[in-house]
């Protein structure tokens, strides 16, 4: 006979694909955003897992963009739970200010990301940032959509689970799906919180930012 906790876990597991999975993988995104084709999708068309999350930021794209380009291991972190990332040796220390030394990003740039290397695959200032970790078969897309007084920030992940048995791939997918919503929800809210602040711009940025550099 199942205990109360065992029954609860069983019910949660059974209800997850029916009621929770889509909500977690598409947190904050509209159906149109989830269905949209984004630049960078073509880099991993056979992905086993595709997620699309979104948030509205009450700031213009040129205020959001600096926070995106400085992200990374050994750079400005990812504005999420650093202690979780650092359990995997990712060297994340989320910054609360714009760091000028990490603003000059270009297509082809690469830097360590845990056991892999994160490479910049596409970049359109103020609009698009696509990165890939080839060793992990992971593509991440940030897409900014300007609105009247705000920015709509879309985050899409495409992941291919290479090798192993079907059970192994399922295990990897379950881990990705469990950790992703928690970490990325915190990340998007972290970007929003920082971009909406007024006291984070360095001395080298003269006056109000009127365009991306």
**How does pLDDT run along the chain (213 residues), one tens digit per residue?**
445 554 444 444 444 454 456 777 899 999 999 999 999 999 999 998 999 999 999 999 999 999 999 998 889 999 988 767 656 666 778 999 999 899 999 999 999 887 889 999 999 999 999 999 999 899 999 999 999 999 999 999 999 987 655 555 555 565 666 666 778 999 999 999 999 987 676 665 554 444 443
Burial (CB count <10 Å: 0-12, 13-18, 19+), residue 168: exposed
Region at 64 (left for phi over 0; alpha for psi -120 to 50; beta for the rest) = alpha
Instruction: Give the Å distances, CA to CA, from 109 to 22, 64, 112, 201.
Output: 33, 20, 11, 24
Instruction: Name the percent of the chain lying above pLDDT 90.
Output: 54
**Euclidean distance between CA atoms 27 and 135, whole angstroms:** 27
Domains of the chain, CATH where assigned: 44-195 (3.30.530.20)
Contact 155, 188 (CB under 8 A): yes
**Euclidean distance between CA atoms 68 and 102, whole angstroms:** 10
Contact 106, 120 (CB under 8 A): yes
């Amino acid at each position: 006979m199942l205990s109360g906790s065992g029954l609860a876990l069983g019910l949660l597991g059974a209800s997850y694909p029916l009621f929770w999975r889509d909500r977690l993988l598409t947190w904050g995104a509209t159906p149109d955003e989830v269905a949209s084709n984004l630049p960078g999708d073509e880099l991993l068309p056979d992905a086993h897992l595709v997620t699309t999350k979104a948030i509205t930021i009450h700031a213009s794209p040129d205020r959001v963009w600096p926070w995106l380009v400085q992200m990374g291991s050994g750079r400005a972190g990812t504005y999420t739970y650093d202690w979780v990332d650092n359990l995997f040796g990712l060297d994340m220390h989320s910054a609360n200010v714009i760091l000028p030394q990490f603003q000059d990003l270009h297509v082809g740039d690469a830097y360590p990301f845990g056991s892999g290397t994160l490479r910049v695959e596409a970049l359109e200032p103020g609009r698009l940032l696509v990165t890939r970790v080839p060793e992990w078969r992971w593509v991440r897309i940030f897409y900014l959509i300007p609105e009247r007084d705000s920015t709509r920030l879309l985050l899409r992940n495409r992941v291919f689970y290479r090798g192993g048995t079907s059970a192994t791939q399922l295990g990897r997918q379950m881990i990705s799906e469990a950790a992703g919503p928690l970490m990325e929800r915190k990340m998007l809210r972290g970007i929003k919180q920082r971009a909406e602040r007024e006291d984070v711009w360095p001395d080298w940025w003269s006056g109000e930012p009127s365009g991306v550099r």
